[in-house]
Structure 1
């Protein structure tokens, strides 16, 4: 198994399932954010959370600060598991990673996902929605993240915990802002786009612009919540279950 994913099943042993769903986390996040997804989306979907270095079980590994090298490393590591049919889901930074990984696979003629599902992210050809982290001191970055809902108030009561999180978040946001001018050809797989109606970072126009990234159709759905509406994913699951079940029959 690669460093990026651990063994995943359909919740009923090792029986094959119709569709693998690779899930990419947001900046500063980890694979644990998807810990409830297998139960919610199974048994027709096998959920494969993708974990970047520098956090959780990969805490001791060096983090990436540039998008290109990270995508190349993920592509090499995940290739043997990206067999058809599979789909990508990514939230915020994770949406950009999923998209750019699909673009890299398209460019080299590898098997593509049957669908790309993106959430809470501006389209990749638009400017990054956040100021450069190199212009923000720790206090300013904390205020920015708190305003977006990325640092809940209880966490702020533990300064040592916040201090340990900030370097990871900074490096992830550098990745998120990197290489935005490298516009990719549209993908031949459909893109399903989700966003929160109270998201202060990404508006509906930012989401709609994803439609330029595919030649195979797209749709935008706005759900209740702010930028981190995935913290309460029940309504998202209601959309994903029939969507993924349909792709599992492809």
Structure 2
């Protein structure tokens, strides 16, 4: 009985730490995005120079790749720092959101996204069915969404854009449920490991959930937000 209580307490601590890291990343992203949108000098410097946006996207890809490939070789502090840097760089690209959309709408959609995220996460934690098969299908579908989105940048079909939005939202709602289900497995596999290793896994889990939330927010923004 004591072992069960200890394990449950450890699992709750791991999930709380993961959500804390995720929340910190979201705070940094939206904070930087709001700052960029309210600083004419910074906004003009970034958005009038395409090279900066290209570099920012490249840095994001590199950081995710490094975290995914080298997480076992770095300390918790290094992994968390890289995650926060990723969130900060992502915030730079978020600056335009606060100018394109009404601020009240952005805040409203943020809370709608939070409720949606938590609901999907609850499904992932409580459902008994293994969502691994769905996750593989979702990743393949996501590639299709990305390719179609790029094609529609040239086609400009409003109906196709709406379809992409709904499909993308469905994909990331499903991936949120899967990633929340995976949290329990990650904790189980790392339960007997040292605190440094457990902490690094929490950072990776937080990054996955952070990306799920950001994408849910973006797709809901397209559906619900009012433009300025």
TM-score, length basis structure 2: 0.24
Greater fraction helix: 2
Give TM-score scaled by structure 1 length: 0.23
Greater Cα radius of gyration, structure 1 or 2: 2
